[in-house]
Structure 1
């Protein structure tokens, strides 16, 4: 069976105005030595108002403009692609420029529709983002690869293999429908060394443009792995600034340990609780589709440094606590247990939403209540009516932060719960709730989300991690 790497390059991997494209070329040349490649691209980064931002953010800002009756201005977008064009040789320059002009006209047309309706939502939003960001970048990268002597082609949006449902702005992957639409993409993979494709974007069976939520390019890479794993020996490669370490390096600056391997479960939990490893829904989709393939997180600047994510990691005598992480802007939903089950079924079937954790229940006045920790308080705020529709007497508490330790074998760690809670107390923070479950090797500590409380708690627990003994 031939090998296939689905390599995902996010905005930071592409760099500001394509600054890191030479590194991408090095990585693709290395990966294609023994594998075919599908390279999935996010929208590039640029500078706006002296700040680094994604072209996605630029378009979202223009979307607000059209809602207020002001014509969109794509000058920042155009300027970014003009700078990226320097990586295209003279032979491919004209075709690449025409492609940029053609796609930006489509984005402008979508924004003009938004201006007429004074509305930037649903398919108008999706088309504006698709044709200015991910899909356009994949076509530009195709010309760059060709300019460097690599046999490549780009997936046309007409033949898009990622088929989704009709939740336009936070869509869901339909694996069986996608397989029906895979033939032309499969032929491209067969005929080329590298195939480029935009992440984040989907298409309904009747041709409506959809988007995943932010970070959705990770899901595109996972979905392609799901679609191709029976035809090729497939692995997914996430090209990043670093491999996985034991805490977010933007929060903890000393004592970080490299993480060699993670299980699917550990990676998903870490992603849910604030570590930017990969979109946890990408793991969920792989598991739901019964696929077992390795995911490699590679430090693009030093490819010898990697973290391998597998369904079952190799047995090693490493420290069972692999990661300490935390999440701000959480919310806790308290609801009678009798009503909670209906809510959970609806979240799974209707909303296809899973970014929550069920905490231990409690009883008050003879009535049992369930507590559900939602890891995105803004999602709960946007859907308050929906949530309270299941129980009008339910309550929602916002401004909660959560700290958690990641490790499937954390049961081997002595006194982990007591020592962790003590360290948070010593840091001057008040624990509002602590949920420890032996069966899931999970410890969740809820604190108030204020100022730098999450940062302080993560640093305190991470520092203690190396001192805790394990069996």
Structure 2
């Protein structure tokens, strides 16, 4: 069987018309000779009776302190409701279908409630139904632990479900259907002339996703990359081909010098971060101070980003919603940090920048033209980050898009 995993997000199953459109995508795949496996997210927005947020708020009227185990049981309901409705839609169109929960589909996870990780997939029941000619619909975002407890996979969990099933079934493609026509060169709400990319590498989309692009979860990309299974990001609302995510050999096939083809693939951003500068002193005492600082923040469960370590000070950022806690931890440990709130992280991502001189110079030039101060910078093989003031974020994204994507 030629498996094709098709994942439909919440916006793709929100109304009867959209569910029928999604079902037509499934039917088309079947007519093309594929055995489609459909993964669905929960449907509905806050306020609608079947929406996950509505169910959570209903229970929180009784108590705000809901145990993680019971919260997983509650949160798994949304995808099951969505899956039943999708099966009914397919059946109405004349296609025999069956719904499997994450547990029934063989999604085995660790026991970390609310943020479980898939450890393996046992697709035997799914394969039995597929051999009987049924379209298998799987409730995304959920699985079952080794000891039989229902778990949920955290943000992007339905993407992760689709990717794991794609690997387990050795699917020809994993298609992620969403409300945009593919992976864009920048957020179209900020850059009006952003365009959908035809192809990107696994590494590039992981970086774009980690740095704020919300089209596909990076964990899903990391999973399909293990077996080199192509992933396509497509729109439920149009017939556009979408973006193919694959290895660099496919993306740059036939290209003699990829640096002339595409140095930067896309620009993305993360708003609402806070910068901390902490003086630690020089020499052995300074090293000990840095150890104490990082140890205290780690024990408090605070994730740091954009870290620069110097002989006399440490500079890093945290998300705005944990900045007060971070400041309190540092003060309790004897540090007096310099705090800059209201920052944003802007990233230029592209596998083609590796070994190419002048990329940082071009970034500084673009920021200088817009009179945007760079508060901090960092880089890797595929990404250069700059920290800017929050009020400068959108201008910074547009400036880098003009410079690298539009050739200005």
Q: TM-score, normalised by structure 2?
A: 0.82
Q: Secondary structure at the match of 2:346?
A: strand
Q: Report the equivalent of 2:396.
A: 457
Alignment pair present for 1:143 and 2:88: yes
Q: Report the equivalent of 2:245.
A: 309
Distance 1:120 1:275 in 2: 31
Equivalent residue runs for 1:142-291 within 5 Å: 142-156=87-101, 159-175=104-120, 178-179=121-122, 182-229=123-170, 233-241=171-179, 242-254=181-193, 256-287=194-225, 290-291=226-227
Count of paired positions? 387
Aligned residues of 2:7 and 2:38 also touching (Cα < 8 A): yes
Q: Report the equivalent of 1:98.
A: none
Q: Secondary structure at the match of 1:239?
A: strand
Distance 1:386 1:152 in 2: 54
Q: Report the equivalent of 1:59.
A: 55
Distance 2:84 2:358 in 1: 54
Aligned residues of 1:321 and 1:405 also touching (Cα < 8 A): yes
Shift in Å at residue 206 of structure 1?
1.7
Shift in Å at residue 239 of structure 1?
0.9
Aligned residues of 2:174 and 2:232 also touching (Cα < 8 A): yes
Aligned residues of 2:99 and 2:136 also touching (Cα < 8 A): yes
After superposition, the C-alpha distances for 1:363-406 in whole angstroms (9 at most, x for unaligned) are 20xxx75x5555x544x569859987xx8759687643100111
Aligned residues of 2:102 and 2:141 also touching (Cα < 8 A): no
Aligned residues of 1:18 and 1:44 also touching (Cα < 8 A): no
2:379 is aligned, of 427, 436, 460, to 436
Alignment pair present for 1:296 and 2:232: yes
Gaps of 5+ in 1: 68-117
Q: Report the equivalent of 1:330.
A: 273
Alignment pair present for 1:14 and 2:10: no
Distance 1:119 1:326 in 2: 33
1:408 is aligned, of 351, 356, 371, to 351
The range that moved more, 294-303 or 414-423, is 414-423
Aligned residues of 2:208 and 2:266 also touching (Cα < 8 A): yes
Distance 2:394 2:59 in 1: 33
Q: TM-score, normalised by structure 1?
A: 0.72
Aligned residues of 1:403 and 1:444 also touching (Cα < 8 A): yes
Distance 1:462 1:215 in 2: 27
Aligned residues of 2:45 and 2:53 also touching (Cα < 8 A): no
Q: Secondary structure at the match of 1:120?
A: coil
The range that moved more, 291-300 or 311-320, is 311-320
Shift in Å at residue 266 of structure 1?
0.5
After superposition, the C-alpha distances for 1:185-222 in whole angstroms (9 at most, x for unaligned) are 23223323421011111221222222122221111111
- The 1:286/1:362 distance shift into structure 2, 3 A limit, reads farther
Alignment pair present for 1:321 and 2:264: yes
Distance 2:359 2:49 in 1: 40
Q: Report the equivalent of 1:119.
A: 65
Aligned residues of 2:264 and 2:405 also touching (Cα < 8 A): no
Q: Secondary structure at the match of 2:111?
A: coil
- The 1:330/1:213 distance shift into structure 2, 3 A limit, reads farther
Aligned residues of 2:185 and 2:197 also touching (Cα < 8 A): yes
Alignment pair present for 1:363 and 2:311: yes
Gaps of 5+ in 2: 279-288
Distance 1:244 1:421 in 2: 26
Aligned residues of 1:139 and 1:197 also touching (Cα < 8 A): no
Q: Report the equivalent of 1:29.
A: 27
Aligned residues of 1:160 and 1:203 also touching (Cα < 8 A): no
Q: Report the equivalent of 1:5.
A: 4
RMSD: 3.4
Distance 2:329 2:167 in 1: 32
